[in-house]
């Protein structure tokens, strides 16, 4: 059976704009996948490495101690395509994708029909294998496409394209694929929700040697277990996992039929979702209670906002999985970016009871001619300008600063957290003062009692 791939016509124009007579260009195919169809939302050219960059080191978004030439490396053959560079690009782009979206494969532009050459085909398949291996190193990113991967080859001379798909975890045999560049955009459902966090994670004394990265991994595991056990309800309607999301969409469309704010003419329809996370029951049997000593704690506090998209043929189960993936992908991306930004571990001084760590917050930007948004993450003090740089480098997008939806998540107010330090230290000083007063009164009472006893004895013997 031929695998179908749906994409908009503007993406074909993008391929043509990248075509050069002799050079090769490689990039990523982004979108949503089903067992027999793929919906492409964007094509992102992989920025060429500098001419003196070492291919095997991850360079995108990383800092190096050596100076590299700024001139891009000219890719003159398929064998010159830097596989590890493309794989590193894929991991960074995966962080920017909403849940339910993946790197569907790669595209290659060059002066030959790459898929008609066995050596070229094997090289392209190995690059996709590198991508999968790289994103699978962090399972909470949910970066592995569960279905077949796509290779799209565009001939820069004839302006013709061909495509194949394969599954590197099965036999790896190339299968036919049919691309449909359509003028009418795919209809998507937008799913909005948020999760409130307020949880304390104790640092067990026997495990206090763990670094911050390991402690973050423990937090991710705990959050993942809770999110996975959560129940997602969309538009307050109890639905079976196998029900079509379009049922809810049509119901909402009907309810808003008379409203001027109806988005029935848009290619994206917004639905509200709520995730209910069950509390963990405490076992009554004392045999299950384990006593531990902890030396510190990490408090995870704040609200994570989620926005995902599913195509109109999706089920409620697809939407549920996309929401849960988005929450964990966003959480894992923030914590990984945060610990990468730390120069060294912070060892709190005795008087420091609370150290505030602010992971980056999420901002959104809509794809051109689409309602689908991708994410970027800004650290405290950063503005939309930094997001524009990431969009240009990683997604090959040029957008205006006004297109960045920077208010999707509110920025934290550090004073709200630092004031907690007073809450902890002040009662401690008062407690010490009260204890000293109690001790003084206790000693004074004993002294007075002894004096009274001595006076009583003297009176008895003298009188």
pLDDT for the residue numbered 273: 96
Residue 121 has pLDDT above 90, yes or no: yes
Beta strands in 34-101 (DSSP E): 37-45
Q: In what order do the strands lie in the sheet with 373-378?
A: 373-378, 361-366, 404-405
61: left (phi over 0), alpha (psi -120 to 50) or beta: left
Task: For the chain, give the percent of residues with pLDDT over 70.
Answer: 74
Q: What is the mean pLDDT of residues 386-392?
A: 92
- Tens of pLDDT, residues 416-461: 655 555 544 445 555 555 566 655 565 666 665 666 666 666 666 6
pLDDT for the residue numbered 180: 94
Among the listed ranges 58-67, 111-120, 130-139, 383-392, which one has the minimum average pLDDT value? 58-67
Task: For the chain, give the percent of residues with pLDDT over 90.
Answer: 51
- Cβ–Cβ < 8 Å for 110, 80: no
pLDDT for the residue numbered 72: 56
Angle between helices 384-395 and 83-96 (to 10 degrees): 140
Cα(328)–Cα(223) distance, rounded to whole angstroms?
8
pLDDT for the residue numbered 168: 81
3-state helix vs strand vs coil in the chain, percent to 5? 40, 25, 35
Residue 30 has pLDDT above 90, yes or no: yes
Closest CA to 147 of 104, 98, 197, 191: 104
67 falls in which pLDDT band (50, 70, 90)? very low
Which comes out higher in pLDDT, residue 42 or 433? 42
Angle at 314 (CA atoms; ends 368, 262), nearest 5 degrees: 60
Closest CA to 358 of 377, 383, 386, 373: 377
Helical H segments across 19-117, by residue range: 83-96
Mean pLDDT score of the chain:
82
Residue 288 has pLDDT above 50, yes or no: yes
- Cβ–Cβ < 8 Å for 371, 307: no
Question: Strand 268-276 vs strand 175-182: parallel, antiparallel, or unpaired?
Answer: unpaired
pLDDT for the residue numbered 260: 55
pLDDT for the residue numbered 349: 44
381 falls in which pLDDT band (50, 70, 90)? confident
Question: Strand 37-45 vs strand 149-155: parallel, antiparallel, or unpaired?
Answer: unpaired
74 falls in which pLDDT band (50, 70, 90)? confident
Which comes out higher in pLDDT, residue 172 or 366? 366
Cα(261)–Cα(278) distance, rounded to whole angstroms?
35
350 falls in which pLDDT band (50, 70, 90)? very low
Residue 64 has pLDDT above 50, yes or no: no
Among the listed ranges 37-46, 72-81, 185-194, 236-245, which one has the minimum average pLDDT value? 72-81
pLDDT for the residue numbered 66: 38
* Count of helix runs (H) and strand runs (E) in the chain: 8, 14
- Tens of pLDDT, residues 196-246: 998 888 887 666 556 778 888 989 999 999 999 999 999 999 899 999 999
pLDDT for the residue numbered 455: 64
pLDDT for the residue numbered 254: 79
Distance of CA 140 to the CA centre of its chain: 8
CB-hemisphere CA count at 13 Å for 277? 15
129 three-class SS: helix
One-letter-per-residue 3-state SS of 285-349: CHHHCCCCCEEEEEEEEEEEEEEEEEECCCEHHHHHHHHHHHHHHHHHHHHHHHHHHCCCCCCCC
Cα(118)–Cα(128) distance, rounded to whole angstroms?
16
Which comes out higher in pLDDT, residue 296 or 316? 316
pLDDT for the residue numbered 247: 92
pLDDT for the residue numbered 459: 62
310: left (phi over 0), alpha (psi -120 to 50) or beta: beta
pLDDT for the residue numbered 351: 47
Residues forming a β-bridge with 45 = 27
Cα(153)–Cα(107) distance, rounded to whole angstroms?
6
pLDDT for the residue numbered 372: 95
- Cβ–Cβ < 8 Å for 424, 385: no
- Tens of pLDDT, residues 162-197: 999 999 877 789 999 999 999 888 899 999 999 999
Cα(462)–Cα(460) distance, rounded to whole angstroms?
6
pLDDT for the residue numbered 320: 97
Cα(351)–Cα(354) distance, rounded to whole angstroms?
9
Cα(194)–Cα(323) distance, rounded to whole angstroms?
10
126 three-class SS: helix
pTM of the model: 0.81
Q: What is the mean pLDDT of residues 391-397?
A: 94
pLDDT for the residue numbered 457: 64
Q: What is the mean pLDDT of residues 76-102?
A: 94
402: left (phi over 0), alpha (psi -120 to 50) or beta: alpha
Q: What is the mean pLDDT of residues 399-404?
A: 89
Q: Provide the 8-state DSSP code for 351.
A: T
Cα(43)–Cα(30) distance, rounded to whole angstroms?
6
Closest CA to 245 of 329, 324, 148, 322: 322
Dihedrals φ, ψ of 335, to 5°? -65, -40
Q: What is the mean pLDDT of residues 330-337?
A: 93
Residue 395 has pLDDT above 50, yes or no: yes
- Cβ–Cβ < 8 Å for 403, 366: yes
Residues forming a β-bridge with 269 = 189
């Amino acid at each position: 059976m031929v695998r179908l791939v749906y994409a908009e016509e503007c993406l074909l124009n993008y391929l043509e704009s990248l075509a050069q007579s002799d050079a090769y260009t490689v990039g990523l195919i982004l979108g949503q996948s089903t067992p027999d169809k793929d919906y492409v939302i964007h094509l992102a050219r992989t920025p060429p490495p500098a001419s003196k960059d070492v291919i095997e080191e991850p360079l995108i978004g990383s800092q190096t101690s050596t100076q590299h030439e700024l001139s891009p490396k000219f890719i003159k053959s398929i064998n010159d395509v830097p596989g590890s560079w493309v794989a590193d690009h894929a991991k960074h782009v995966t962080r920017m994708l909403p849940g339910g979206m993946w790197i569907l494969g790669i595209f290659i532009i060059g002066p030959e029909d790459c898929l008609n050459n066995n050596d070229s085909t094997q090289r392209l398949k190995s690059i996709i294998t590198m991508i999968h291996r790289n994103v699978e190193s962090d399972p909470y990113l949910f970066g592995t496409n569960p279905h077949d991967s796509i290779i799209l080859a565009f001939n820069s001379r004839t302006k013709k394209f061909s495509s194949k798909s394969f599954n590197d975890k099965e036999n790896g045999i190339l299968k036919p694929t049919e691309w449909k560049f359509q003028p009418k955009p795919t209809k998507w459902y937008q799913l909005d929700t948020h999760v409130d966090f307020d949880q304390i994670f104790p640092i067990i004394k026997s495990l206090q040697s763990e670094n911050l990265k390991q402690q973050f991994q423990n937090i991710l595991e705990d959050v993942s277990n809770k999110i996975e056990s959560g129940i997602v309800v969309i538009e307050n309607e109890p639905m079976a996992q196998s029900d079509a999301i379009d049922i809810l969409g049509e119901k909402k469309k009907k309810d808003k039929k008379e409203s001027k704010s109806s988005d029935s003419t848009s290619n994206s329809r917004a639905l509200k979702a709520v995730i209910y996370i069950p509390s963990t029951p405490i076992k009554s049997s004392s045999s299950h209670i384990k006593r531990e000593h902890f030396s510190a704690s990490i408090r995870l506090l704040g609200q994570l906002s989620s926005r995902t998209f599913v195509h109109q043929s999706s089920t409620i189960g697809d939407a549920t999985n996309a929401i849960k993936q988005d929450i964990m992908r966003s959480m894992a991306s923030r914590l990984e970016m945060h610990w990468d930004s730390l120069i060294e571990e912070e060892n709190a001084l005795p008087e420091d009871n609370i150290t505030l760590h602010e992971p980056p917050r999420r901002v959104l930007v809509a794809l051109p001619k689409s309602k689908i948004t991708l994410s970027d993450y800004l650290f405290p003090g950063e503005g939309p300008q930094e997001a524009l740089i990431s969009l240009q480098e990683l997604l090959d997008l040029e957008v205006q600063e006004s297109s960045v939806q920077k208010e999707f998540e509110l920025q934290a107010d550090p004073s709200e957290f630092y004031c907690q330090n007073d809450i902890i230290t002040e009662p401690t000083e008062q407690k010490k003062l009260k204890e000293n007063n109690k001790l003084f009164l206790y000693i004074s009472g004993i002294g007075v009692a002894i004096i009274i006893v001595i006076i009583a004895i003297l009176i008895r013997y003298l009188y």
